[in-house]
């Protein structure tokens, strides 16, 4: 039987790198972001990010010096201990745990980088449109793009979303060479991980984020879809045209997962991976599910399971677990 494995996933790129940028460029740059052409008149120099994965996209591109600060919730603080970008987290100011107009205005932001339900929300009035009224440009995380069906999110496969954002940010910040080097490295890392599962049966995997009454999980447009699939498994909720969403426990039981991938994210009554596992093992309807019966659990940090530079390393770590 396998014991709970907590992998502190590290990216393969250099940490805290400062990249030469052509910040003197004055020509506007237009990129396609979430289905719309967006033009940026200058290289942003006071960026505010929301969420750990989004901040680490900036860090991976060597753009910490272009940031005014970051916002992360209390449930994400554990990510900093596992981050390959610790030096950047230490030198960029934390602005708070909840992003608001007041926070970004106080920081003098000239760009806000967030996503739907990754900071942007109609319920709070913090939206790209409301920031445009204040003269503050935005960039939306592609994983969290609205897909035109209610509030569902995701418009392309998760790794494609990662590469799209890296390329777009590379153009906006004039670091396209750096972006392409990252993408090439990530693609090679993912390809090598895929070989670990080649020719093997594909176990069914349930991503458990949080929730006791109803589980919060990942559909086909969230990063775990590719973390699971490229590692040699099958996401049991990969048929859902959404990124992160709520399902029912009865459906989890019906889909009978062989492995449960636990998100190390503090949200709700079970905050730690150990508490989440204890709940899963004690919840009677799951007792006969192979993953619980055979104690097949694996843990990854939150920042490895949302769109971020940690996705390729997460694929590699999970592939080794499945192949072991």
Domains and CATH numbers, the chain: 29-187 (3.40.50.1980), 199-323 (3.40.50.1980)
Q: Assign 261 to helix, strand or coil.
A: strand
Cα–Cα distance measured from residue 252 to residue 109, given in angstroms and rounded to the nearest whole number: 43
Q: What is the CA radius of gyration of the chain?
A: 19
The Cα 10–Cα 255 span in angstroms is 31
What's the mean per-residue pLDDT of the chain?
92
Q: How far apart are CA 143 and CA 138, in angstroms?
A: 15
Q: In this structure, are residues 56 and 303 in contact, taking their beta carbons and an 8 Å threshold?
A: yes
Each residue of 24-82: pLDDT tens digit?
556 899 999 999 999 999 999 999 999 999 999 999 999 999 999 999 998 888 899 99
Q: What is the value of pTM for the model shown?
A: 0.92
Give me the pLDDT at residue 151, please: 85
Q: Compute the distance between CA of residue 64 and CA of residue 237 in angstroms, rounded to an integer.
A: 36
Angle between helices 176-196 and 158-172 (to 10 degrees): 160
What tokens appear for 208 in the block? Answer: 């458990």
List pLDDT tens digits, range 128-178: 999 999 999 999 999 999 988 888 899 999 999 999 999 999 999 999 999
d(CA 232, CA 249): 24
Q: What is the pLDDT of residue 25?
A: 57
Q: Summarize pLDDT for 87-119 with one digit per residue, the tens.
A: 999 999 999 999 999 999 999 999 999 999 999
pLDDT in tens, 214-239: 999 999 999 999 999 999 999 999 99
* Whole-number pLDDT of residue 104: 98
Contacts of residue 275, Cβ cutoff 8 Å, sequence gap at least 6: 269
CA–CA distances in Å: residue 46 to residues 104, 113, 172: 10, 11, 13
**Which string of b and e fits 82-110 if b means at least 16 CB within 10 Å?**
bbbbeebbeebeebbeebebebbeebebb
Q: What is the mean pLDDT of residues 311-324?
A: 97
- Structural contact between residues 67 and 89, judged by C-beta atoms closer than 8 angstroms: no
Cα 129 to chain center, whole Å?
23
Q: Each residue of 240-258: pLDDT tens digit?
A: 999 999 999 999 999 999 9
212 touches 249 (CB < 8 A): no
Q: For the segment 23-33, what is each residue's pLDDT rounded down to a tens digit? A: 455 689 999 99
């Amino acid at each position: 039987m396998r014991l709970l494995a907590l992998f502190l996933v590290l990216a393969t790129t250099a940490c805290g790198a400062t990249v030469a940028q052509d910040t003197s460029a004055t020509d506007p740059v237009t990129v396609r972001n979430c289905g719309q052409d967006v033009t940026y008149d200058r290289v942003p120099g006071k960026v505010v990010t929301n969420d750990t994965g989004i901040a680490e996209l900036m860090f991976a591109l060597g753009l910490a010096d272009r940031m005014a600060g970051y916002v992360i919730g209390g449930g994400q603080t554990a990510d900093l201990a596992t981050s390959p970008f610790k030096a950047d987290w230490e030198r960029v100011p934390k602005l708070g745990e909840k992003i608001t107009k007041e926070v970004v205005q106080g920081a003098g932001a000239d760009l806000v980088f967030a996503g739907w339900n990754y900071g942007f929300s109609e319920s709070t009035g913090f939206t790209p449109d409301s920031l445009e009224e204040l003269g503050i440009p935005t960039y939306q995380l592609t994983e969290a793009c609205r897909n035109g069906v209610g509030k569902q999110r995701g418009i392309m496969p998760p790794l494609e979303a990662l590469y799209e954002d890296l390329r777009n940010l590379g153009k906006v910040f004039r670091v396209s060479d750096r972006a392409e080097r990252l993408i090439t490295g990530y693609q090679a890392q993912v390809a090598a991980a895929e070989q670990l599962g080649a020719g093997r049966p594909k176990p069914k995997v349930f991503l458990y984020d949080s929730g006791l009454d109803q589980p919060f999980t990942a559909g086909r447009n969230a990063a775990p879809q590719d973390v699971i699939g490229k590692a040699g498994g099958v996401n049991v909720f990969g048929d859902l045209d959404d990124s992160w969403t709520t399902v029912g426990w009865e459906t989890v039981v019906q889909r009978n997962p062989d492995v449960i991938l636990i998100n190390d994210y503090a949200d709700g009554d079970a905050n730690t991976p150990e508490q989440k596992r204890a709940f899963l093992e004690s919840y009677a309807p799951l007792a006969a599910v192979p993953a619980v019966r055979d104690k097949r659990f694996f843990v990854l940090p939150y920042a490895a399971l949302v769109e971020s530079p940690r996705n390729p390393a997460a694929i590699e770590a999970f592939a080794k677990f499945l192949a072991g």
